[in-house]
Structure 1
């Protein structure tokens, strides 16, 4: 049994994780501990407070009791708003506090793009444009070229959690561009676990979504690889060997 630990802010799309766990197989457990979201706002100051060391540390003890072997801060915007170096500091502090390998959803996107050999991406964000642009800058610092960014101007995670399948598909279509090798949907408040095959068929390219890459990253930290076609290209392709 491999136990994966996720720190998830508030309550929006956490039901994606039991679905992903079911698709991964019976020897993998995904444990979710909810952190205090503070002010629910896609605004830089609120997002930095949401991802503060104190808020993350508060959930670590409960997570440790689950027997988790790795921990991922399951919040994209609450990590990339710190910038590339600041986000590294965030996960280093989390690893020290938790006593286990740690990462965040922001780094999961960078690592997942590398896994697929993807260098140019489009971003379909639920966030306001200024926050979406910060994610694009973060990806650029990680060596991923962002060829287009589409923000949606949604202020709260609670609102994102109410999006329908058609809302997600519409965002994906609007954000995609022919020069992008993959599409990224970076909000862990967005329900996407059941939609990845549909999205990839619609766009004819890999689609990386926040909750999908979060679990993949937790697996990567434990040196596990799982074939799960229902979770898209990231869970079916052989890793790219860099030369």
Structure 2
């Protein structure tokens, strides 16, 4: 059969990903990627160290990053992202910028890190007061807080698991419980740290329940990397990716059709129905069901939330 009419595969934008040796969520990264983008993933060399500040420093050494970027250069990515939160915040802001410079020099290609992407995302949604959720130990969580504080971000609450291995096995239910615990002091946004912590399906549901934007490490990494190649990340109703979601679900409410004149010159709603309630009254009762707390992990795959504005906070 002649298949020459197909014209070959579509051109692809290449995004290089440098991940720690224990990264297990390749598939989650792909879920944010449009069809005309390919991810090229490489890992840092194995080291027999548990998740800790020591490991964060080892997997972010400049020569380790340079070697990984050089390997990726063989497939000519348009941008390279270091997908590790702790590895990119452990040295503070100066350390993160030095990592980006080392990667860019090694591959002669634009480069970024998860922690740098986080700051860009917080700026994008105009969030200055942030709650944080991590799977880390206290010392690693403290280091994240120091990094954000250095950048002018106020931490309003935090919750962490204290794990030192196999973070990718954490279920969505634990992520939800930590988010509820951390978000009690009305922050502008909530950040879920660690690229090895599953978050894709939980983000829109948490945004509906908590009435605030929710960011995650993998989400901000892919958002920034795709933006660098002129593409947009895809995802179900996430405030960082969707300007409508960022303004709040009420922005999706369609405007009512204009009234029409009847034979007597009076105005009535199309179809002869009685005039509906004022928009403010209608919105007051909207979103009740979406605001109920999540009761089971199975609910996390539900469709877009139908909630009201973010908890009375000003739109971002």
User: Normalising by structure 2, what TM-score?
Assistant: 0.69
Instruction: Kindly name which structure, 1 or 2, has the bigger radius of gyration based on alpha carbons.
Output: 2
Q: 1:227 to 1:78 in 2, by over 3 A?
A: closer
Aligned residues: 234
User: Is 1:29 aligned to 2:38, yes or no?
Assistant: yes
Q: 1:225 to 1:164 in 2, by over 3 A?
A: same
CA distance in 1, matches of 2:183, 2:197: 17
CA distance in 1, matches of 2:93, 2:211: 30
Q: Deviations over 1:14-39 (max 9, x none)?
A: 22112222xxx222222222222423
Residue 81 of structure 1 and its aligned partner are, at CA, apart by: 0.7
Unpaired runs of 5+ in structure 1?
none
Work out which structure has the larger RCO, using CA pairs closer than 8 Å and 6 or more positions apart in sequence. Answer: 1
CA distance in 2, matches of 1:228, 1:13: 17
Unpaired runs of 5+ in structure 2?
1-11, 248-316
Q: 1:183 aligns with which of 186, 190, 193?
A: 190
- What secondary structure sits across from 1:219 in the alignment? helix
User: Is 1:78 aligned to 2:84, yes or no?
Assistant: no
RMSD: 2.0
CA distance in 2, matches of 1:140, 1:67: 36
Where in structure 2 are the equivalents of 1:58-73 lying within 5 Å?
58-73=67-82
CA distance in 1, matches of 2:132, 2:46: 24
Q: Where does residue 66 of structure 2 map in the other structure?
A: 57
Contact conserved, 2:65 with 2:102, CA < 8 A, in 1? no
Q: Where does residue 232 of structure 2 map in the other structure?
A: 226
Residue 67 of structure 1 and its aligned partner are, at CA, apart by: 2.4
Residue 154 of structure 1 and its aligned partner are, at CA, apart by: 0.8
**Structure with the largest fraction of helix:** 1
User: Normalising by structure 1, what TM-score?
Assistant: 0.89
Contact conserved, 2:226 with 2:233, CA < 8 A, in 1? no
Where in structure 2 are the equivalents of 1:204-243 lying within 5 Å?
204-222=211-229, 224-226=230-232, 228-230=234-236, 232-237=238-243
Contact conserved, 2:156 with 2:185, CA < 8 A, in 1? no
Contact conserved, 1:227 with 1:236, CA < 8 A, in 2? no
Provide runs of 4+ in structure 1 moved above 3 Å: none
Q: Where does residue 313 of structure 2 map in the other structure?
A: none
